[in-house]
Structure formats: structure tokens, C-alpha cells
């Protein structure tokens, strides 16, 4: 700990818009505090990293089904509570605009600018049939060992 930067790590497991917002708000805050910050995206949290446009990558049947069922891009994610078939996310986005707060895609952009380390979990990418071409640029690919390497001397470690 002597002089070294403090570390914050977040496992983003959830594919909910609001939970991902919370994760990125904490990450951006910690980066502003000069922490070295890592967000490890696994399972549904990978959807936050998906590109907006549809891509014609080759997939098996199950992988195609997952790809269809899961929201493509951060902006399409639902809420953990009161989703109301998409009404909830619209309301949240309205109040975000009204209060000049940042949307999830903006928070992700800011995290990149602040050099937050965005990692996509390769094992769950395999399970859900997601390929690197489908995820945004400028992110890293790693497994649980890389996460644990960061987390085991992290000051703040969260699972969201």
C-alpha cells in the first residue's frame, strides 16, 4: 500500500440499466479520486459493452437465441425494478435529461476517458455466444484470474 495507487474493482454481473449506472457512477467517482479502477463485465453485464448496430457474425442456434433475447447496447437495457415493459427506463432517461445527469452510454464514455479498465469476461462471452466484434472497441478480454489479481489488493471491491 506504500504510496501505490488505491484500487477499486467492480464485477458487473447485472444487465439492468440502473445497476449498470450505479456501477459506472461509482467507477467514475473512484477514478476521479485517483483510484485505479477495473470493471469486470460478466454474464448479463456484458450487454453494456455491446455495440449498437446488428452484426452478421456466425453463431450457433442457442447463441443466436441469447443474442436476440439480450439487449444490444447499454441504451437498451431494462430496469431492475419497475421496468413496466420499457416504461421505467424511459422515465429514468427523462429525469436524467431533466436533471442534466449522465445517461449510461455517457457514463461509459467518461469511464473510458478516465482510463477505467473495462474487461469483458471471456468465459461468459463463450457461454452467451458473444464475439469480440460485437463488443465496443478499447476494452480488454480476460478471465476470472485477472479479476482476482486486481481485486485481491483492491480497497473497494463490489459485485453489482
Shortest approach of a copy of itself to residue 51 CB, angstroms? 20
Helices (H), the chain: 17-32, 61-69, 87-98, 104-113, 122-128, 144-151
Burial degree of 146 (CB within 10 A; 0-12, 13-18, 19+): middle
- Cβ proximity to a copy of itself, 137 vs 160, nearer residue: 160
User: Using the rule CB under 8 A, is 18 a contact of a copy of itself?
Assistant: yes
Applying CB under 8 A, among 29, 51, 86, 113 the residue interacting with a copy of itself is: 29
Name which of 160, 157, 159 is nearest 9 in CA terms: 157
Applying CB under 8 A, among 57, 110, 139, 156 the residue interacting with a copy of itself is: 156
Phi then psi dihedrals of residue 93, to 5 deg:
-65, -35
Shortest approach of a copy of itself to residue 138 CB, angstroms? 24
Cα 47 to Cα 41: distance, rounded to the nearest angstrom: 9
3-state secondary structure of 34: coil
List strands edge to edge, sheet with 156-159.
140-142, 117-121, 36-41, 7-12, 156-159
- Cβ proximity to a copy of itself, 2 vs 138, nearer residue: 2
Interaction residues for a copy of itself, span 112-141 (CB under 8 A) = 123, 126-129
Q: What would the x/- binding string for a copy of itself be over residues 49 to 78, using CB under 8 A?
A: -----------x-xx-xx--xx--------
Residue whose C-alpha cell is 469486470: 40
- Cβ proximity to a copy of itself, 53 vs 145, nearer residue: 145
Residue 58 near residue 64 (C-beta atoms within 8 A): no
Binding site for a copy of itself (CB under 8 A): 6, 8, 11, 13-15, 18-19, 22, 25-26, 29-30, 32-33, 35, 42-44, 60, 62-63, 65-66, 69-70, 80-82, 91-92, 94-96, 98-99, 101, 123, 126-129, 144-145, 147-148, 151-160
Amino acid at each position: 500500500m506504500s504510496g501505490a495507487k488505491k484500487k477499486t474493482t467492480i464485477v458487473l454481473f447485472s444487465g439492468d440499466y440502473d445497476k449498470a449506472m450505479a456501477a459506472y457512477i461509482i467507477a467514475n467517482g473512484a477514478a476521479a479520486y485517483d483510484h485505479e479502477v477495473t470493471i469486470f463485465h460478466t454474464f448479463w453485464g456484458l450487454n453494456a459493452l455491446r455495440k449498437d448496430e446488428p452484426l452478421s457474425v456466425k453463431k450457433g442456434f442457442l447463441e443466436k437465441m441469447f443474442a436476440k433475447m439480450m439487449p444490444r447496447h447499454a441504451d437498451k437495457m431494462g430496469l431492475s425494478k419497475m421496468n413496466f415493459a420499457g416504461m421505467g427506463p424511459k422515465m429514468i432517461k427523462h429525469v436524467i435529461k431533466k436533471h442534466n445527469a449522465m445517461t449510461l452510454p455517457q457514463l461509459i464514455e467518461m469511464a473510458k476517458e478516465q482510463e477505467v479498465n473495462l474487461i469483458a469476461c471471456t468465459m461468459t462471452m463463450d457461454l452467451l455466444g458473444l464475439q469480440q466484434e460485437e463488443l465496443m472497441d478499447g476494452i480488454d478480454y480476460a478471465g476470472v484470474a485477472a479479476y482476482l489479481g486486481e481485486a485481491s489488493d483492491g480497497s473497494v471491491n463490489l459485485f453489482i
